[in-house]
Amino acid sequence: MGCKLSGSALMMGDEVLEVNEGCTGIRSFQTSLMLSLFLGEFLFLGLFSRIVTIILGIVLAGALNVVRTVTLTKIYFDFGPESFDRFHDLVGYIAFVFSAAGLFGVAIVFARIERLFKQI
């Protein structure tokens, strides 16, 4: 059984999942951008490291947003709207934590590399 897209709604059999507005996915992009800027300043990263950190943060947020969307869609169609409502925020928070942790890890690596090159 396939899933059909109609405007902002996904239809599978008798079930319809409608996306009414941007939610945690949009906020994750904004948060990732602000966290990238903060880490660049906090860790005294150079220009190149800051730009790469921002780009990787946005890519990571986008990839995790896709995973979040697929996960929530699967929950909705497999377990129903009640489960979807129960897990919506939790899945968004988990995606944010992974995104922030990955971004923090990248920024720390860049900071250590820059400090290593300053010592040489």
Strands of the 9-12 sheet, one edge to the other:
4-6, 9-12, 15-18
| CA atoms in the 13 A half-sphere facing the CB of 30 | 6
Note if the pTM is more than 0.85. no
- Per-residue tens of pLDDT for the chain, all 120 residues: 577 766 667 677 777 766 666 666 677 788 899 999 999 999 999 999 999 999 999 999 999 989 998 999 899 889 998 999 999 889 988 988 999 999 999 999 999 999 999 887
Residue 2 phi/psi, 5-degree rounding, is -95, 165
pLDDT tens digits, 3-22: 776 666 767 777 776 666 66
